[in-house]
Amino acid sequence: MAVRYISAGESHGSRLVCILEGLPAGLKVSSDYVNSQLKRRQGGYGRGGRMKIESDRVEFLSGIRFGETIGSPIALSVENRDWQNWSERMSAEGSKFGERVTNARPGHADLTGAAKYARSDVRDILERSSARETTMRVAAGALCKIFLGACGVDINSRILSVGGVTGEENIRERIDYAKAHGDTVGGFFEVTVSGVPAGLGSHIQWDKKLDAKFAAAFMSIQAVKAVELGDGFLNAIKLGSEVHDEIFVDDGKIFRKTNRAGGFEGGMTNGEDLIIRAAMKPIPTLMKPLRTVDIATRQPTTASKERSDTCAIWAAALVGEAMAALVTADAFVEKFGGDTLRDTLANLKNYRERLARDFGL
């Protein structure tokens, strides 16, 4: 990978951290912009009490000097303000403190994670599998958005439906109903990446296909259970003549009138907007818990309750933007290289000019 990202930290630990490597030197960045994206992650109708406690703000630890990337790995940190209430229960050293969590939640990583890592306390699993982890995805993705903006690329998202309904009033009613019944609700969201040239990715090997990288990135988002590119699922029930985007030419410029492929053909971008849609299942932490088994006694019980949201589809969409930014930035750096932003932009300019001159793209 050209742009690499790795994070660490637990939901109720002292802080979350990540390292982002691969962005060229000379990119002007701002913590204000990153913080604005972190604030977006905490918004949306149906969020829970945790959002009232945390007010995430990023700290640049390395890789940035005087508001500009310097080419070395960028280290980011976000403090967990709720740490003061969890310092004994989540202490890195010392004696064990607090009650164990043994009632595994259906639909969560709890049971399988505890079995895989031989943990008698499910908290050892749920703290990292929590969607709180996406805080650092959004922070790293924000820096990638700044880089992509300099390359002429824009990333946006929208909510398509929540709990099977559309329209703001209907969505609010659906969320309110779920909350009143101790339940949760999921939905569908869409991310669009505009301004990407044709030819990113490759058809040569399976692991070079950019559409596969996007699908993997979106499937990695907590609670996402299905991903489609363009009209993926709908295309499966149509005739080929109704699916494939015909190619036209006007005054030497090649274009398409439709984008059912979602901007991908043969594992590569084709010059159209990239359209990625994802289905998010309802959050597995219910205030009216489902039936489960106590992993300590192996007796029937009800699932544990953690502070949670009724609906987090808006946060998921924002995380989708971040993942799209990370994957797209990686593809740009891999394709156009450059140790400095100036070099990257020069290579990108030459490539765009060649596509336009030789192929009308």
pLDDT the model gives residue 308: 78
Provide the pLDDT confidence category of residue 50 given band limits of 50, 70 and 90.
low
Q: Which helix (H) or strand (E) holds 160?
A: strand 154-162
The structure tokens listed for 257 are: 């009138």
112-125: average pLDDT: 96
250-270: average pLDDT: 96
185-206: average pLDDT: 98
Q: Coil, helix or strand for 321?
A: helix
**pLDDT tens digits for 204-236?**
999 999 999 999 999 999 999 999 999 999 999
Q: Would you say 34 and 149 are in contact if contact means Cβ atoms under 8 Å apart?
A: no
Residues 361, 355: Cα–Cα separation, whole Å: 5
Q: Would you say 229 and 346 are in contact if contact means Cβ atoms under 8 Å apart?
A: no
Residues 229, 29: Cα–Cα separation, whole Å: 30
* Whether the predicted pLDDT of 148 surpasses 80: yes
Q: Would you say 344 and 333 are in contact if contact means Cβ atoms under 8 Å apart?
A: yes
The residue type of 355 is: L
79-104: average pLDDT: 93
Q: Report the residue count for the chain.
A: 361
pLDDT the model gives residue 306: 74
Residues 24, 232: Cα–Cα separation, whole Å: 34
Residues 184, 309: Cα–Cα separation, whole Å: 7
148-160: average pLDDT: 98
* Whether the predicted pLDDT of 99 surpasses 80: yes
Per cent of the chain over pLDDT 70 is 98
Taking the C-alpha atoms of 263, 269, 271 and 272 in order, what is their torsion angle to the nearest 10 degrees? Answer: 10
Provide the pLDDT confidence category of residue 47 given band limits of 50, 70 and 90.
confident
Give Cα separations from 33 to 15, 88, 176, 250, 326 (angstroms): 20, 34, 32, 40, 16
Return mean pLDDT, the chain: 95
Q: Coil, helix or strand for 189?
A: strand
The structure tokens listed for 304 are: 């544990």
The DSSP symbol for 262 reads: T
**pLDDT tens digits for 295-336?**
999 999 999 877 779 999 999 999 999 999 999 999 999 999
What residues have CB less than 8 Å from 218, skipping those under 6 apart?
191, 224, 227, 276, 278, 320, 323, 324
Q: Coil, helix or strand for 313?
A: helix
More confident residue, 25 or 288: 25
Residue ranges of domains in the chain, CATH in brackets? 96-359 (3.60.150.10)
Q: Would you say 132 and 285 are in contact if contact means Cβ atoms under 8 Å apart?
A: no
pLDDT the model gives residue 51: 57
φ, ψ for residue 289, nearest 5 deg: -60, 150
Q: Would you say 345 and 246 are in contact if contact means Cβ atoms under 8 Å apart?
A: no
Closest CA to 282 of 191, 177, 137, 190: 177
Give Cα separations from 138 to 20, 130, 281 (angstroms): 12, 15, 20
Residues 202, 223: Cα–Cα separation, whole Å: 29
pLDDT the model gives residue 48: 72
Q: What is the CA radius of gyration of the chain?
A: 22
Q: Coil, helix or strand for 276?
A: strand
Residues 9, 7: Cα–Cα separation, whole Å: 7
Residues 188, 348: Cα–Cα separation, whole Å: 34
Q: Would you say 282 and 296 are in contact if contact means Cβ atoms under 8 Å apart?
A: no
Q: Which of 13-27, 30-44, 304-318 has the lowest mean pLDDT?
A: 304-318
Provide the pLDDT confidence category of residue 54 given band limits of 50, 70 and 90.
low
